[in-house]
Amino acid sequence: ILNVEQSPQSLHVQEGDSTNFTCSFPSSNFYALHWYRWETAKSPEALFVMTLNGDEKKKGRISATLNTKEGYSYLYIKGSQPEDSATYLCAFNESFQKLVFGTGTRLLVSP
């Protein structure tokens, strides 16, 4: 059974704080690693799809890194805003068809 672990489970920060979360995944049979943001009452939306060891991707204040050899990815949010409040899910692609999710990190940003 594939295990994708995320930590922390939840996080409460103040507006302007920077924060980061971790996703751990199997280091064998790596195909791709995805990050999604899931806001309440909306659909999960893709942030990044990462495929190469050492990948770093950035979208505005959010960035992510990937280490496939040791099986982890970090997601960073710089200067958190209340609109960043959401659950952040990572998902491991074992093959192009199979996407296995972690439990997510629930982020709350207070004004």
Residues near other proteins (CB under 8 A) are 1, 4, 9, 31-32, 34, 36, 41-46, 49, 51, 89, 91, 93, 96-104
Minimum Å distance from CB 76 to other proteins? 19
Minimum Å distance from CB 101 to other proteins? 5
Pick the closer one to other proteins by CB: 13 or 49. 49
Minimum Å distance from CB 91 to other proteins? 8
Pick the closer one to other proteins by CB: 2 or 18. 2
Minimum Å distance from CB 61 to other proteins? 20
Pick the closer one to other proteins by CB: 16 or 52. 52
DSSP notation for the chain: ----EEE-SEEEEETT--EEEEEE--SSS--EEEEEEE-TTS--EEEEEE-STT-EEEETTEEEEEETTTTEEEEEESS--GGG-EEEEEEEESSSS-EEE---EEEEEE-
C-alpha–C-alpha distance, residues 105 and 11, integer Å: 7
